[in-house]
A and B are shown apart, each in its own frame.
Chain A
Amino acid sequence: NAGVTQTPKFQVLKTGQSMTLQCAQDMNHNSMYWYRQDPGMGLRLIYYSASEGTTDKGEVPNGYNVSRLNKREFSLRLESAAPSQTSVYFCASSEAAPAYGYTFGSGTRLTVV
Chain B
Amino acid sequence: QKEVEQNSGPLSVPEGAIASLNCTYSDRGSQSFFWYRQYSGKSPELIMFIYSNGDKEDGRFTAQLNKASQYVSLLIRDSQPSDSATYLCAVYSSASKIIFGSGTRLSIRP
Q: Using an 8 Å CB-CB cutoff, how does the interface string of A45-87 with B read, 1 for contact, 0 for none? A: 1001010000000100000000000000000000000000000
Chain A interface category by residue count = 20 to 34
Measured in the bound complex, the distance between the Cα atoms of B98 and A50 in whole Å is 12
Measured in the bound complex, the distance between the Cα atoms of B96 and A97 in whole Å is 5
Q: How many residues of B contact A (CB 8 A)?
A: 23
Q: Using an 8 Å CB-CB cutoff, how does the interface string of A7-48 with B read, 1 for contact, 0 for none? A: 000000000000000000000000101010000111101001
- Say whether A100 contacts B102, CB under 8 Å: no
Measured in the bound complex, the distance between the Cα atoms of B101 and A33 in whole Å is 17
CB contact under 8 A between A41 and B98, given known A90-B43, A99-B51, A105-B43? no
Asked whether any CB of chain A lies closer than 8 Å to the CB of B70, the reply is: no
Which chain B residues have a beta carbon within 8 Å of chain A's beta carbons?
8, 31-32, 34, 36, 42-46, 49, 51, 88, 90, 92, 96-103
Which chain A residues have a beta carbon within 8 Å of chain B's beta carbons?
31, 33, 35, 40-43, 45, 48, 50, 58, 90, 96-107
